[in-house]
Amino acid sequence: MATFVLVPGAWKGSWSYEAVVPLLERAGHTVHALTLTGLRPDDDGPTVAAANLDTHADDVVRHLDRHDMTDATLVGHSYAGMVIAAAADRAGGRIARLVHLDAYVPHDGESCWSSTNDHFRELFADGAGGTGYTVRPPGGGDPRRRPHPLGSFLQRVRLTGAHTQVPRREFVYCAGWEDPTPFAELRARLGADPGWQVHDLPTGHDAMHEAPEAVAALLIGGETATELHDLVRQRHPA
């Protein structure tokens, strides 16, 4: 059985995986869903202001240390692709699998800001206008979302290359929001890289909510692309 560490994307906490966790646990796996520093309801202003990408990578590594984890699977959604890459680079060979769930896959020296598109750079800049150190959540969406530390979007990731030695590296492309997605070119690049396995899901960006059964099945493994698409259609029939 696998041990999954699920890392949420921007503005979100562990609750973003609430529909996926029981499906993985029911299959016998151990699951840890995290909330990163600055996104917890009781984090004060200075804690939020000081949080950056290093803080979030260290959150994951400390969690591995605290639970004495080896052979873990790190799953990062969206912004958290930056986090799991940095954490895996620092984890000393304790990561067996990386799953970038419609998420950034950075090279050394890149940031979320430099890796995204103009749509999201404008969203980040506009969202930071209130405090100057947090980015408010975009309109609509789950009311549990919280302002996200701006520094984590701007800080450049520091990678030694150790993360590239993780035995399994996977990218999940959510194809149902083609217009604003910043991941189309990344999907094409990784699809041509023999070091990566690429999966496609016909969902919007928040696949964990739209099709938790398909996400869980993909994480557990063994399903074909057709089977994954069937799971999505079962939840969202035409």
Residue 191 pLDDT more than 90? yes
Topology of the domain covering 3-235: Rossmann fold (3.40.50)
The DSSP code for 161 is: S
Question: What is the mean predicted confidence (pLDDT) over 218-230?
Answer: 69
Side chain identity, residue 19: A
pLDDT bracket for residue 93 (50, 70, 90)? very high
- What token pair was written down for 173? 């492309």
The pLDDT of residue 179: 84
- Helix, strand, coil percentages for the chain (3-state, nearest 5): 40, 15, 40
pLDDT at residue 226 tops 70: no
The three-state secondary structure class of 130 is: coil
Assess contact for 202 and 176: CB atoms under 8 A.
Answer: yes
Check residue 233 and give its pLDDT: 62
61-70, 100-109, 226-235: range with lowest mean pLDDT = 226-235
Residue 103: what are its φ and ψ, rounded to 5°?
-135, 160
Contact 38, 152 (CB under 8 A): yes
User: What is the structure's pLDDT at 140?
Assistant: 86
Q: What are the domain boundaries of the chain?
A: 3-235
148-149 vs 134-135, strand pairing mode: antiparallel
Nearest to 160 by CA among 112, 104, 108: 108
Catalytic residue among 14, 16, 78, 115: 78
Q: What single letter denotes the amino acid at residue 237?
A: P
The CA R_g of the chain, rounded to the nearest whole Å, is: 17
Answer yes or no: is pLDDT of 25 > 70. Answer: yes
In this predicted structure, the answer to whether residue 236 has a pLDDT above a threshold of 70 is no
pLDDT tens, position by position, 103-151: 999 999 999 999 999 999 999 999 999 999 999 999 888 999 999 999 9
Residue 78 is a catalytic residue: yes
Query: What sign for the dihedral angle of Cα 155, 161, 167, 169?
Result: positive
Neighbours of 62 (CB within 10 A): 12
- d(Cα 14, Cα 98) in Å, to the nearest integer? 18
> Is pLDDT at 198 greater than 80 in this prediction?
yes
- Spatial contact of 182 and 106, defined as CB atoms under 8 Å apart: no
Average pLDDT, the chain: 94
Stretch 173-198: mean pLDDT: 95
Going by pLDDT thresholds of 50, 70 and 90, the confidence category of residue 46 is very high
